[in-house]
Amino acid sequence: MKVLRKVYKDDEPIYHVKTDKGSVIRIKGSDDLTEAETESLLTLVSQDIDKMKNKL
């Protein structure tokens, strides 16, 4: 997983992430989370997306 960029929309961070399988996804985050919590969130969501793509 690689974070490509972080942008703000309506005062909330949106992360553009490239998963290990090559999909590019957007994940809505929160500034209330710590850096470690944000990293964990992004990793878990990107892994879930990769698992769903395997089932297709």
Edge to edge, the sheet with strand 24-28 lists: 2-9, 12-18, 24-28
Number of domains in the chain: 1
pTM metric for this prediction? 0.90
Helix (H) or strand (E) holding 35: helix 35-55
In total, the chain counts a number of residues equal to: 56
Q: Domain range for residue 36?
A: 2-54
pLDDT grade for 3, boundaries at 50, 70 and 90: very high
What pLDDT score was predicted for residue 41? Answer: 97
Mean pLDDT of the chain: 95
